[in-house]
């Protein structure tokens, strides 16, 4: 799903960034957000609706709509569309509203 | 509590130009944005701007972003940039509350400029929450900022400039645009953008909308239907298309939460996109020392946001007794710029909106 050739933009080779998604090791690239790295791995479902458990992907990509909230390193409700991916992040699907520790 | 001279919330075109005007006036600026980089939505705009040469027409949005940012960065220690910082509260004594890296802190400024921009609207239809249904601008971010395709086959809903431009940019990224549906009987964006995608073989279907998205866990198709003159779906006219992505481009709504939170008067003006703050002729809201500019006060183009941003910066500096070196000539020139940018037939809605806001306030 990464763009290979583009008439205007050039996407330079970036360092691979390992992370885990629901326990599985995946790789994003330096410069990715969590949501973009997941999308590049073909993962579109990021969260579930609170009551009816319907699958949700990101919608706005500006940190506004809450459709991409996930549990990151144990913290719920992280807006993954604007949160930069970091090495060895533990990213998990979120059920419900999330628990504050 | 940290003290600042001026605080700008939102580092997009309006916020950056407000920062520049304040810096030119000798003020110190703290510029806050929830994103990792400044520039707002310019960061993904690979197309060339129209409008006014003075507002960088014929330049790509991404290049304008670099220009606006370098214009403020050269003031060194007088500009402080807080990225990945979320403003969670604005109070009437000009105190703001922020979150950054799980840390909560407060700051006080003599002037606060709210330039939060806008968010994309959604459209009600069955299954509109399925993964694979995205705001058009969100897809533009995914492609042009992160180099990732949203999918293989896309339906674009809405033929405003964002819908038309993003359709073309999808093709540039190597994604097939299967159709563009427009509920009205005419294309609503600039025809120069529409012609470009038509030349590449995209069907622009007027009097057409999406009835529902198909798929269980992700989008696998879309059911379209024709609309009558009153925009009601015509039973029996439905047909389906196999695809994996649906882009919604049906307009923007100002991000007005902080105005409501601080207690500023906010009015609903449909032509400006939704709830907008009441402002005086110096861009001050009904709260003393709290200003507003850009898409947050009415949906327009980035060029207008830049002009408004600079004017707001000059007025805010003036109120802090830090006059801009060319205050009166600059303000006059900017007024003329704005009038020019709002003069075309496409700006009719904006003109009506501003007139209405004048009446409601």
Q: What is the DSSP string of B107-152?
A: EEEEEEEE---EEE-----BTTTSTTEEEHHHHHHHHHTT-B-S-S
Any CB–CB contact under 8 A between B138 and chain A? yes
| Segments forming the whole domain that contains residue A47 | 16-92
Strand bridging mode B274-277 / B266-269: antiparallel
Contacts of B120 in chain A (CB under 8 A): 59-60
Measured CA distances, B253 to A60, B11, B272, B294, B306 (Å): 12, 18, 8, 12, 18
Contacts of B253 in chain A (CB under 8 A): none
pLDDT digits (tens, 9 = 90+) for B164-199: 999 999 999 999 999 999 999 999 998 999 999 999
pLDDT digits (tens, 9 = 90+) for B21-80: 999 999 999 999 999 899 999 988 888 887 777 888 888 888 999 999 999 999 999 999
pTM: 0.93
Mean pLDDT of chain B: 94
The number of distinct structural domains making up chain A is: 1
- All structural domains of chain B: 2-119+252-360 (3.50.50.60), 122-248 (3.50.50.60)
Strand partners, B242: B221
Query: Considering the domain boundaries, does residue A99 fall inside one?
Result: no
Q: How does DSSP classify residue B49?
A: P
Is the model's pLDDT at B361 over the cut of 50? no
* Cβ-defined contact of B143 to A3 (cutoff 8 Å): yes
Helix/strand/coil percentages in chain A, nearest 5: 5, 30, 60
User: Quick one: pLDDT at residue B67?
Assistant: 94
Q: Searching chain A, which residue's CA lies closest to the CA of residue B216? A: A55
Contacts of A44 in chain B (CB under 8 A): 131-132, 218
Query: Considering the domain boundaries, does residue A38 fall inside one?
Result: yes
User: Quick one: pLDDT at residue A36?
Assistant: 97
pLDDT tier, B359 (very low <50, low <70, confident <90, very high otherwise):
low
Query: Considering the domain boundaries, does residue A79 fall inside one?
Result: yes
Query: Considering the domain boundaries, does residue A53 fall inside one?
Result: yes
pLDDT digits (tens, 9 = 90+) for B328-341: 999 999 999 999 99
Q: What is the CATH number of the domain that holds A36?
A: 3.10.20.30
Query: Considering the domain boundaries, does residue A100 fall inside one?
Result: no
Whether ipTM > 0.85 holds is yes
Is the model's pLDDT at B139 over the cut of 60? yes
Of B102, B151, B173, the CB nearest to A3: B173
Any CB–CB contact under 8 A between A14 and chain B? no
Spell out the per-residue pLDDT of chain A, length 101, in tens.
899 888 888 888 889 999 999 999 999 999 999 999 999 999 999 999 999 999 999 999 999 999 999 999 999 999 999 999 999 999 999 988 888 76
User: Quick one: pLDDT at residue B46?
Assistant: 84
Distance of CA B298 to the CA centre of its chain: 9
pLDDT tier, B216 (very low <50, low <70, confident <90, very high otherwise):
very high
pLDDT tier, B346 (very low <50, low <70, confident <90, very high otherwise):
confident
């Amino acid at each position: 799903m990464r763009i290979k050739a583009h008439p205007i933009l050039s996407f330079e080779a970036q360092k691979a960034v390992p992370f885990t998604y629901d326990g599985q090791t995946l790789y994003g690239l330096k410069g990715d957000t969590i949501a973009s790295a997941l999308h590049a791995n073909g993962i579109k479902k990021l969260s579930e609706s609170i009551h009816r458990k319907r699958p949700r992907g990101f919608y706005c990509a500006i940190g506004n709509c809450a459709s991409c909230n996930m549990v990151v390193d144990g913290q719920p409700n992280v807006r993954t569309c604007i949160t930069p991916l970091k090495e060895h992040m533990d990213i998990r699907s979120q059920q419900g509203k999330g628990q504050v520790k | 509590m940290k003290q600042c001279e001026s605080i700008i919330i939102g580092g997009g075109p309006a916020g950056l130009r407000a920062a520049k005007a304040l810096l030119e006036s000798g003020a110190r600026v703290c510029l806050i944005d929830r994103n990792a980089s400044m520039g707002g939505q310019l960061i993904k705009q690979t197309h060339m701007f129209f409008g006014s040469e003075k507002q960088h027409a014929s330049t790509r949005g991404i290049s304008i972003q670099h220009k606006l940012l370098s214009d403020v960065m050269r003031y060194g220690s007088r500009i402080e940039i807080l990225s990945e910082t979320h403003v969670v509260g604005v109070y009437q004594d000009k105190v703001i509350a922020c979150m950054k890296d799980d840390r909560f802190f407060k700051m006080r400024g003599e002037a606060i400029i709210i330039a939060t921009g806008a968010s994309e609207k959604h459209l009600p239809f069955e299954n509109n929450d399925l993964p694979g249904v995205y705001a058009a601008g969100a897809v533009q971010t995914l492609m042009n900022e992160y180099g990732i395709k949203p999918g293989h086959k896309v339906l674009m809903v809405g033929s405003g400039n964002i819908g038309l431009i993003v359709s073309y940019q999808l093709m540039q990224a190597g994604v097939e645009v299967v159709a563009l549906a427009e509920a009205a009987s005419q294309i609503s964006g600039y025809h120069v953008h529409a012609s470009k995608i038509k030349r590449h073989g995209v069907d622009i279907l007027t009097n057409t909308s999406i009835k529902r998205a198909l798929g269980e866990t992700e989008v696998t198709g879309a059911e379209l239907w024709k609309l009558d003159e009153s925009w009601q779906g015509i039973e029996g006219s439905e047909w389906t298309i196999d695809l994996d992505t649906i882009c919604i481009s049906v307009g923007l709504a100002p991000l007005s939460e902080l105005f409501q939170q601080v207690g500023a008067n906010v009015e609903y003006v449909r032509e400006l996109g939704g709830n907008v703050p009441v402002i005086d002729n110096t861009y001050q809201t009904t709260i003393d020392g709290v200003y507003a500019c850009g898409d947050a006060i009415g949906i327009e183009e980035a060029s207008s946001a830049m002009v408004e941003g600079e004017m707001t910066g000059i007025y805010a500096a003036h109120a802090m007794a830090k006059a801009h070196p060319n205050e009166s000539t600059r303000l006059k020139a900017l007024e003329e710029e704005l009038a020019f940018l709002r003069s075309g037939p496409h700006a009719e809605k904006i003109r009506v909106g501003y007139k209405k806001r004048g009446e409601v306030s």
